[in-house]
Amino acid sequence: MSRFLGGEDHESYFTNTQRHRVVYEILTKTVYGRKKRSEVGVDRLINEGAYTAAFPLHEGPFELPKFEIRPEELNQRQVLYHYWARWFEWYKYQPLDHIREYFGEKIALYFAWLGFYTAWLLPAAVVGTLVFVSGVMSMGTNTPAKEICTSGDTYLMCPLCNTCNAWNMSEICTMAKMGYLFDHPGTVLFSVFMSFWAVTFLEYWKRKMSTLAHHWDCMDFHEEEERPRPEFAAKAPTMEQNPVTGVKEPYFPEKTRLTRMFTGSMVIIMMLCVVMIFLVTVVMCRGIIIVMMFHTESPVLRTEAGTIANISSSIVNLGLILLMGRVYTALAEQLTKWEMHRTQTQYDNAFIFKVFIFQFVNFYSSPFYVAFFKGRFVGYPTNYGTLFGMRNEDCGPGGCLIELAEQLFIIMVGKQLINNIQEFIIPKVKAWRQKRTLAKVLGSKASHEPQRWEEDYKLVECEGLFEEYLEMVLQFGFITIFVAAFPLAPLFALLNNWVEIRLDAHKFVCEYRRPVAERAQNIGVWFNILEALSHLSVIANAFLIAFTSDFLPRLLYQYKFDNELHGYVNFTLAYAPLNHTENCRYKAYRDNNGNHSLFYWELLAVRLSFIIAFEHVVFFVLRAIDWIVPDVPESLEVKIKRERYLAKQALAENQEALLQATHPLET
């Protein structure tokens, strides 16, 4: 949607978006001023159906001419297409200055950010892959897994459901080996690394951002006179003086807006409850699937029950997430419109906030559940914890971390795949539909050489950067918050982003109508969200390593008993209470009465101390990084100071000259 900030004076607005010619009609106040107060503009006319569209024109076709021409003769759009929007260009820097000139600062900043983020993903992906490979290499040295595999029928385990049979520990040999891949000392180091990575990335992005803002001359860009949105203007009941510009403007009472925002929040909370209900449903389905598979006599199904159930439920989960996301985004748009925000910026921020909160819960609640809650409330034989009569689910024999990794893989990679396919197909479908409409309207006149605006009318309207940013920010969350469980996440993110950049570039250059250029100083509220995510990731990683990973129990066992972990498996298995029918074992640190053993409490203290130490050290170092790395590069700082100094000097000289000119006799 092409948006007009100032409805009354198009001229001054269009000088802002220099070099863009726009299909527009000049409206005089006299036509509309009387009918409905003073807010007028093309947007209003489109809103009322007088026009079907208004957009700046592209500079020409994007295809390169068939005959050879010199690069200087290409139009801007062709340049962008040739040097940026093609797959062959994947290894090249983006021509940011050209993007900015053609699309404006806001869109250029998005691509600058995306490129910067992708470049920073490279080291993270390399380290992550190394960690994963080192896990694969050292899988053989894992004593507990070896002990499990060679245990035969030494460890008779308690049944996993009330009607199931007891089983032998040695059956899950493969899973135990696999579990080590996602739960070895390297992953701990890697999650520390990623915490630092995330914060350093944001620090350096600040520097990049200020450099770009200075280069593009929008460092001191403030929007003082943002006009009300046309929707707002149309529906506002009264007029009030704007305190900044002094002009009378449509006004919506603050109080009503607050109650509306409150109602809006209630709707969000309701939707979040729906997400939670879905989550519980998926969990219960998973339980039922597992029980069903235990009852089949196939040994493969029995040992792999957890994995199969987990993967299938993750796929269902992904479907639900995408569905809910779509429904909710539509709902949020209506809600935000109904909340009556005066300016587009306010509207955007409210919308971003709403959707982000929801999508955050939508995407992360299931991994959070697996990481921090699954398997914590199982209880012990003779005293199992239950929910709706079903026994609370426990993590599989490989540990919770491997299930988390499976789930992350499916949700993250699956989402990226589906997204990219959508981004590829949907514009094409839309463009085809648009073309048909145009053809109908033009009818027989279609034979003439099509005008630029007809060509551009066939394109899809640009939907803004919201979806793009949201996708990237959710990805950032996946690679930082759960990195302890899934060291390959940065690699997948990197691969996705390499595709994403060119896909987005192609969309903007070839498939979208040219958007109205907008200025921006930075990436706005998204930066704050990224910062919050990076802090959250430190906390999440601390808890993940302390409670979900087997790192600390192993360490404590090594310290107290055996440095080679001999006997560790036996040590982690408690005996079922004596009043239980079978004399089986289960994974816990409990004595024969089901009470927590001394080791449990010691371990708990170690775990909590680890969290405290980890968080304090990491946050302290992050603070130090924040403090040491200046937000503006030193050379730029000097440049800005120099400019300011020269400006001051020029002003002083100017005034002196003026004084001389007006009072020539006094000197």
- Does 662 bind its own copies (CB under 8 A)? Our answer is no
> For residues 538-567, which are near its own copies according to CB under 8 A?
539
**Is 609 a residue that touches its own copies (CB under 8 A)?**
yes
Question: Within 489-548, which residues bind its own copies (CB under 8 A)?
Answer: 539
Tell me if 505 sits within 8 A of 95, measured CB to CB: no
Tell whether residue 604 is a contact of its own copies (CB under 8 A): yes
Cβ proximity of 234 and 342 under 8 Å:
no
Mark the segment that binds its own copies (CB under 8 A) among 205-213, 436-444, 515-523, 638-646.
638-646
164 binds its own copies (CB under 8 A): no
Tell whether residue 651 is a contact of its own copies (CB under 8 A).
no
Residue in 659, 628, 667, 653 with CA at minimum distance from that of residue 196: 628
Cβ closest to its own copies, residue 2 vs residue 537: 537
H-helix segments, 544-590: 551-560, 568-572
Residue in 217, 602, 631, 653 binding its own copies, rule: CB under 8 A: 602
Query: Based on CB atoms, which residue is closest to its own copies, 222 or 663?
Result: 222
Residue from 90, 262, 559, 601 that binds its own copies (CB under 8 A)? 601
User: What is the Cα Rg of the chain in Å?
Assistant: 31
Compute the distance between CA of residue 279 and CA of residue 317 in angstroms, rounded to an integer: 8
| Residue 244 interacting with its own copies (CB under 8 A) | yes
Q: Could you tell me if 502 and 86 are in contact, meaning their C-beta atoms sit under 8 angstroms apart?
A: yes
285 binds its own copies (CB under 8 A): no
3-state secondary structure (DSSP) of residue 384: strand
How far is the C-alpha of 275 from the C-alpha of 322, rounded, in Å? Answer: 12
Of the candidate residues 25, 153, 217, 225, the single one contacting its own copies (CB under 8 A): 225
Question: E strand or H helix at 379, and its extent?
Answer: strand 379-380
258 sits near its own copies (criterion: CB under 8 A): no
**326, 426 in Cβ contact below 8 A?**
no
Nearer to its own copies, 244 or 421 (CB): 244
Figure out which of the listed residues 21, 436, 560, 648 binds its own copies, where binding follows CB under 8 A: 648
Shorter beta-carbon distance to its own copies: residue 338 or 601 = 601
Q: How far is the CB of 204 from its own copies (least distance, A)?
A: 22
How many angstroms separate the Cα of 304 from the Cα of each of 114, 287, 574, 667?
40, 14, 23, 97
Q: Binding residue for its own copies (CB under 8 A) from 644, 651, 655, 656?
A: 644
CA gap 405, 184 in Å, rounded: 14
**Burial (CB count <10 Å: 0-12, 13-18, 19+), residue 7:** buried
Q: How far is the CB of 424 from its own copies (least distance, A)?
A: 38
Which of 467, 615 has the CB closer to its own copies? 615
Between 68 and 224, name the residue whose CB sits nearer to its own copies.
Answer: 224
Taking Cα atoms as reference points, which of 216, 199, 269, 240 lies closest to residue 109?
216
298 contributes a contact to its own copies by CB under 8 A: no
Quote the longest CA-to-CA distance of the chain.
Answer: 115
What single-letter amino acid sits at 177?
K
Q: Which of 258, 266, 608, 658 binds its own copies (CB under 8 A)?
A: 608
Could you please report the per-residue DSSP string of 288-344? Answer: HHHHHHHHS--HHHHHTHHHHHHHHHHHHHHHHHHHHHHHHHHHHHHHHHHT--SBH
Q: Quick check: helix, strand or coil at residue 639?
A: helix
Q: Which of 258, 441, 612, 650 binds its own copies (CB under 8 A)?
A: 612
Q: How far is the CB of 648 from its own copies (least distance, A)?
A: 7
At closest approach, how far in Å is the CB of 428 from its own copies? Answer: 42
Number of chain positions touching its own copies (CB under 8 A): 25
CA–CA dist 196, 127 (Å, integer): 13
Terminus-to-terminus CA distance in the chain, angstroms?
A: 60
Q: Quick one: which of 401, 405, 317 has its CA closest to 363?
A: 317
User: At closest approach, how far in Å is the CB of 600 from its own copies?
Assistant: 8
Residue 245 touching its own copies (CB under 8 A): yes
376 binding its own copies? (CB under 8 A):
no
Kindly write out the interface string for residues 580-599 of this chain, putting x where it contacts its own copies by CB under 8 A and - elsewhere: ------------------x-
Span of 46-54, 170-178, 562-570, 602-610 interacting with its own copies by CB under 8 A: 602-610
Using CB under 8 A, list all residues that contact its own copies: 222, 224-225, 243-246, 539, 598, 601-602, 604-605, 608-609, 611-612, 615-616, 638, 641-642, 644-645, 648
